[in-house]
Structure 1
Amino acid sequence: MSATITPAPAPASGAEGPPAQGSPLRRFVRPATALLSGLLLFLSFPPRPLWWLALPAFALLGWTLRGRRPRAGFGLGYLAGLGFMLPLLIWTGEEVGPVPWVALAAIEALFVAAAGLGIAAVSRLPWWPFFAAGVWILAEAARARVPFGGFPWGKIAFGQADGVFLPLAAVGGTPLLGFAVALCGFGLYEAYRRFRAYRATGAVPRGPLAATALAVLLPVTGAVAALPLVDDSAEDGTATVAAVQGNVPRLGLDFNSQRRAVLDNHAARTRELAEAVKEGREPQPDFVLWPENSSDIDPYANGDAADVIDGAVRAIGAPTVIGAVLAPPTGKLRNTLIQWDPELGPVATYDKRHVQPFGEYIPMRPFVRLFNSNVDRVSRDFGAGTKVGVFDLAGTKVGLATCYEAAFDWAVRDTVTHGAQLITVPSNNATFGRSEMTYQQLAMSRVRAVEHSRSVVVPVTSGVSAVIRPDGEIVSQTKMFTPDVLVEEVPLRSSLTPATRMGTLPEALLVALAAAGLGWSALRSARARRKPAEEAATGGAGTEGSATGGSGAA
């Protein structure tokens, strides 16, 4: 009796199979695609209004990682991370050279590499786009916390200020917004893969098809359903606010050597506003906001600085928030916001709670000095405050998040849960020149406005200062390195969005989804490793049925 050997069917187009033989250049296709996916993620961030590029970026990342071994996923993920982080963070080397920039990008890319490992591990599971998007958020959650308190700059949500998914920020904050973008991108790749498989086989598997459709449609329909949460109506009336941008004498780290000129610039702009109010060219503001570091001279220790500030505040006749550096005789410096009353002088302070590592303090100073002597420009470290910042300015509760703090979910959310009706993000971006940093940070404030349904005012020393409504729309902004004052009437709100109420719960649920996927993948791998050993122990009894069955075997 002769046996007929039927060749095994070729993998369907789009299905995973052994590497194709051919040109040696083929081995570079996946690494190059990984780099391209990271570059597309960078290009999706401001100042470019190309938020939609994040979708093909994740689709390409899905193609790169699906079916790979975890070790390969780590390497490919690292390439994607470098393609993303190196151009995104180039501003960190604006004045201190390439070493800190490259080191930071290389470290942050490790988190993308870990995400690549996890995505590769879950990519063979049913409904894998959901688990893969959860793994991405897990990596972002870790990056926002470690090391040195974390560095959440570059969270996918911060590139979506102009995107259709933005309303989801009001539902589940930046984690849900980022998850939706990643899920839709992975879903688009899976739709493409299923389409190619259908063309090759004609089969339409219902379960995978449903998962693919949900991966693409769920984020879009969720964003549409969340639109009613994006509300810029005035629940508690309105406030007229002035944001002062005094500008700096010159760019770079050495602008601090011109501290008195910076203070005088902001005082002069405030006095000019007072004249404009008297002449009827501008409305009387209810309160005035100066930026971070608008007075690097401690007004508590220097009477001249206090007199300059007091004169400007009395001239405008409104409570004013002053960004100052306080230098106590002993201990650490304080990056402080001072509430300055036109009659009473300084009446309240807020110390920045999340000080910037390697910018405001130097961890591991002797070790870091081996690589870059610029660390000694920070000759005295800043200390962190402990109290949530909410000032009562002429009856308006104003939440305070100083510059770098805008990147941290908790630092902004705390002010709203403590009663803030409006948020301000006073910043100093002069150190980073004309780089994209100020636009990236402004996009964060726009996302925060929608996340918490609050107007956000961003006064910056050198630009871009802006006034943002609760729906994320910028109603006015300044040019970079141009003295200016913005005066706008903004709505005040006190209701809490679901994102504000739930806090870290959405992020925790998405992290749990990722953990479930990783655990399931590990269990499947363990079972697959045990199966050959079990078959060998039973003498291959489990294969007898295939010898005579109609499965195409001999």
Structure 2
Amino acid sequence: MLAVLVRWGLRLLALLIGACLALAFPAVNAWWWAWVGLVPLLLLLARAGSFREAAWRSWLAAGGFFVTLHHWVLPYLGVFSVVAAGIVGLVWVPFGLAAYGLLRRPSLARVLVAMLVLPSVWLTVEALRSWKHLGGTWGLLGLSQWTVGPVLAVAALGGVWLLSFLLVAVNIGITALLIPGAMLRTRLVGGGVAVVLAAAAVGYGILRPEPVVTGSMRVAGVQPGIVYGPQKRLAVHLRLTHELAGLDHDVIVWGQSSVGLDPKQRPDVDRQLREAAAATGSDLLVNVDARGPSGQITKSTYQYTGKGLVATYAKQRLAPFGEYIPLRPLLGWIADYTGAPKQDRSPGDKLTTLNVSGLKVGPLISYESTFPDMRRDLARMGADVTIVQGSLTTFHGSWAHSQQAGFEAVRAVESGRPAVLVELDGTSAAFDARGRPLIWVPPEYRGTFIVDVPLSREETLYVRLGDWVPLMSGAIVIAAILGLAIRRVGRRLAH
């Protein structure tokens, strides 16, 4: 009986450790915890006693992490919250099994292998769960460093993936320093490698030369908050937009779903938007979320000038269960019990850039801000700046606001381009190409804002090479599995 209580006590401790790791992210933003927050879990895994127990501990730790980080989603999942938490917790199990296998007997060789294999396992799982149909890159460990300039610079080399790899490797090195049963040499090497990795990251960020500023773009944002009804929402946006007349800006941006009426079917709406652009002397980017003539609903960026509509971009990556239900014929019934949409939105098929005041703007819409590859592709297309139209009305007042705004800092460094996020309701923000904040507009703000965005083009290593870190990690994991299999076959043949 005592053994059972101890076992479950340690499992619950793992759950608590996972929950505490979530505090490294916005809105708590205890970024420093990401450097050491996995150490208690790794120590528990190393002393699990069996692979089965390691699976239990890693599963519960992951459940604690994701439920804490995304607690704002749970009310909208309703009765499916427990099931969702149980399923998402499985993603850390491969890491837990690998950690137990490598750290239960912490020799120098095993620790060095662990510092290569375990970050690779972690990264491979992060990359797989970042698939667009599984929710994107929310909660990647590297995103916790979005406010730490010298460390954030590492994203220019390998994206958010390299940041995650670095953090896990440092956690393992610190674990080697503390783990019971390790020889002094193992402790010193593990701790030393952790220090070297952290110092190299900070040193790169400090010594990295500043980009050449080639100009600036003056961006105005309209953030009215939640306004119910398409006619009233349009009227509020138009009123606030007219207040920006004469303030010398290059573009005015409205958030996602700011226009709930199709301008192509409503000449009066088209005329009002054209007149607003003419009156303010600026290009106007609105976001149309309305049923078209075919009956389909598409979320699209519409670019207006005084002459009318000049360009559009249709959102490609839709939020699962937020804008469509995967496998609707099988799972459509979920809409009756959650906030999932009754009708799927229709996705676009390609990225584009918009010509605004002689500059190339890369438009993205809300959920798309979570994907580093889209920002990378826009940089390759020559975008001078990326502008995201967002809306977090569903999760008003939650951690989601600062989490989404924090994405923009990481995306700016990855792409070497400044990034701007304008929310209908949420935290609007802008960052320069180094991820430094230019403006931060809290979700409770109602009105307009203007930000001067310094422009600089820099072809980062991440833009040139793409997702080389997840690919490398996947190759290391495959090699480790093959090596283990060959070793076991060799042992069986020897007997």
Compute the TM-score of the two structures, normalised by the length of structure 1: 0.82
Could you give the per-residue CA deviations for residues 185-225 of structure 1, whole angstroms, max 9, x where no partner exists?
121111112xx557xxxx543x6743442134214313322
Q: Where does residue 264 of structure 1 map in the other structure?
A: 235
Cα 1:527–1:34, aligned 2, differ >3 Å: closer, same or farther? farther
Q: Does 1:413 find its partner at 2:413? A: no
Q: For the Cα contact (< 8 Å) 2:335–2:342, is it kept in 1? A: no
Q: Where does residue 142 of structure 2 map in the other structure?
A: 157
The amino acid that maps onto 1:170 is A
Q: Where does residue 6 of structure 1 map in the other structure?
A: none
Q: For the Cα contact (< 8 Å) 2:334–2:340, is it kept in 1? A: no
Could you give the per-residue CA deviations for residues 53-85 of structure 1, whole angstroms, max 9, x where no partner exists?
122321112112226544333222211110111
What is the root-mean-square deviation of aligned Cα atoms in Å?
2.5
For 2:204, which of 225, 231, 238 is the aligned residue? 225
Larger radius of gyration: 1
Q: CA deviation at 1:435?
A: 0.8
Q: Where does residue 225 of structure 2 map in the other structure?
A: 247
**Equivalent-residue separation in structure 2 for 1:144 and 1:377 (angstroms):** 20
**Equivalent-residue separation in structure 2 for 1:230 and 1:487 (angstroms):** 28
Deviates more, 1:212-221 or 1:489-498: 212-221
The amino acid that maps onto 1:501 is R
Matches within 5 A, 1:513-528: 513-527=476-490
Compute the TM-score of the two structures, normalised by the length of structure 2: 0.91
Q: CA deviation at 1:488?
A: 1.7
The amino acid that maps onto 1:64 is L
Matches within 5 A, 1:151-550: 151-163=136-148, 165-193=151-179, 197=181, 204-205=184-185, 209-229=188-208, 231=210, 233-234=212-213, 236-249=214-227, 255=228, 258-274=229-245, 277=246, 283-330=247-294, 332-342=296-306, 344-371=307-334, 373-374=336-337, 378-527=341-490, 534=495
Q: Secondary structure at the match of 2:29?
A: coil
Cα 1:493–1:103, aligned 2, differ >3 Å: closer, same or farther? farther
Q: CA deviation at 1:36?
A: 2.4
For 1:135, which of 110, 117, 121 is the aligned residue? 121
Percent identity reads: 27
How many residues in Structure 1 have an aligned counterpart in Structure 2?
Answer: 487
**Equivalent-residue separation in structure 2 for 1:245 and 1:456 (angstroms):** 17
Q: For the Cα contact (< 8 Å) 1:287–1:393, is it kept in 2? A: yes
Which structure shows the higher strand fraction? 2
Cα 1:213–1:436, aligned 2, differ >3 Å: closer, same or farther? same
Cα 1:302–1:103, aligned 2, differ >3 Å: closer, same or farther? farther
Q: For the Cα contact (< 8 Å) 1:119–1:132, is it kept in 2? A: yes
Could you give the per-residue CA deviations for residues 321-359 of structure 1, whole angstroms, max 9, x where no partner exists?
1111242222532110011112x2111111111111111
**Equivalent-residue separation in structure 2 for 1:66 and 1:529 (angstroms):** 26
Q: Secondary structure at the match of 1:378?
A: coil
Q: Where does residue 97 of structure 2 map in the other structure?
A: 117
Q: CA deviation at 1:23?
A: 6.1
Q: Where does residue 54 of structure 1 map in the other structure?
A: 34
**Equivalent-residue separation in structure 1 for 2:87 and 2:79 (angstroms):** 12
Q: For the Cα contact (< 8 Å) 2:372–2:414, is it kept in 1? A: no
Structure 2, unaligned stretches of length 5 or more? Answer: none
Q: Where does residue 8 of structure 1 map in the other structure?
A: none
**Equivalent-residue separation in structure 2 for 1:320 and 1:169 (angstroms):** 32
Cα 1:134–1:216, aligned 2, differ >3 Å: closer, same or farther? farther
Q: CA deviation at 1:119?
A: 3.1
